[in-house]
Amino acid sequence: MDQFISDFLVEKNFQQLATNFVPHYTTLVSKVGGIISPENLGRIQAALKEANLKDVADIIEESLKAAENAPLDVAVIGESGTGKSSFINALRGVSYEEEGFAGVGVVETTMKKTPYQHPKYPNVTFWDLPGTGTPNFHPHEYLEMVEFATYDFFIIISSSRFTLNDALLAQNIKEIGKKFYFVRTKVDNDLYNEKKSKPTSFKREGVLQRIRDNCLANLSHIGVPEPCIFLVSNFDLDDFDFPILEETLLNELPVHKRYTFVLLLPNLSDASIEMKRAFLKEKIWLDALKSSALSFIPFMACFNGFDLPQQEKCLNLYRSHFGLDENSVKGIAEKLSMSLEDIKSFTKSLTIQFLMQDDSIADKAMKCAECYCSVNGGLPSTLFQFFKIYFLHLKFINTVADDAKILLHKTLKSLSLRR
């Protein structure tokens, strides 16, 4: 059991709990940064000191709603043919010519800023902004036209050399206090061409370092000091610098927007899956703490159950977060040349009955005891609430995350065999 929750349930020394809360939470989220702001951490700590458990629950609820509903607007800027639309499609997990696919073409297909919602997370929008170097646009009109101040951060894309206009854009973004990131696309094409033209002397790492050095020198020359360059392939996001870009964006986003950002990331590696698992486990911990605090209030626990329909809804949500919803699993099955039944044979979270068996005598006895305790409140009710919510959710999230890893490894192995 989580030590802080254990102390909370058993000792009820709220002065000591208040002292331990922030250090414990900081340790809990040390690898991912957390989704509660320092201000709200202080408010929770103050409420604990006063043994005001209703305020503790309310502040946690407020923080979780802010994280779940936070809008995220990402601007992607680049000239025609740089791969900006393909980059947006890859982040949204949308295949070529699928509904909602961002238009791709050598000729400028984006004549004005174009929003593309994430298909799973409607509060996330990627904005395909017009390139500044085409004849259709004039730099002095650009900033006003695209409404720069409305975006959370900016991705400036090039498939060769960054231009003076890119440097001017970066300077303006910096002046309004926003973050920008230079992304060099199509490095897979560069590697292919280099290997084909110099088969005997080709060295992958040497080519990548040369591309990086050229970009750094280019940007320094046009007035961007100490730029961060990320080399990516829109068709192999798990390769090159995209995982580093993910981590950088996560660390530099405002606290309340990290949760949304992490959920939209594709499952590219074990590390990205673990990142999602960590954020969801934090949310589970906060939900359990909130529910435990409310359970000290008589009758309140009756309104915070976790019955079978809620369990099914919760499991489906976790599957969606990890790309194991019905449509995604069908796509994986096609890639692996397997049937859905084959995939279900080596996974656990795709069969609801496996995780939702609730007809045992012990389970029925637990329900009777819980019903009694929820009316009386106090420690017994709190214990039941914590065990039910925390451990059931934890079981769900760990099972789904483990299945996501299994399918990722099988997919990567299948792709490697075809190359």
Rounded to whole angstroms, the Cα distance separating 91 from 88 reads 5
pLDDT of residue 303: 46
Please name the amino acid found at residue 392.
L
Q: What is the Cα–Cα distance from 17 to 289, expressed in whole angstroms?
A: 12
pLDDT of residue 11: 54
**Given this model, what pLDDT does residue 181 score?**
92
Q: What is the pLDDT of residues 340-385, one digit of tens each?
A: 889 988 898 887 676 665 444 445 445 544 554 555 555 555 556 5
Q: Are strands 153-158 and 179-184 parallel, antiparallel or unpaired?
A: parallel
Could you give the CA distance from residue 288 to residue 171 in angstroms, rounded to a whole number? Answer: 45
pLDDT of residue 300: 56
111 touches 136 (CB < 8 A) = yes
Nearest to 402 by CA among 292, 284, 277, 240: 277
As given in the structure block, the two tokens for residue 194 are 């280099």
pLDDT score recorded for residue 71: 93
Q: Which residue in 154, 147, 10, 172 sits closest to 78, CA to CA?
A: 154
Q: What is residue 20's predicted lDDT score, i.e. its pLDDT?
A: 79
| Residues 348-381 as b or e (16 or more Cβ within 10 Å = b) | ebbeeeebeeeeeeeeeeeeeebeebbeebeebb
Which residues of the chain are under the pLDDT cut of 70?
1-13, 30-32, 95-111, 132-140, 295-306, 352, 354-389, 417-419
* Residue recorded with tokens 């992304």: 183
Task: Work out the angle at residue 275's Cα, subtended by the Cα atoms of residues 315 and 400, and round it to the nearest 5 degrees.
Answer: 25
pLDDT at position 62, please? 93
* Long-range CB contacts (within 8 A, 24+) of 186-192: 186/82, 186/83, 186/159, 186/233, 186/234, 187/211, 187/231, 187/232, 187/233, 187/240, 188/233, 188/235, 188/236, 188/239, 188/240
Tens digits of per-residue pLDDT, 359-368? 444 454 455 4
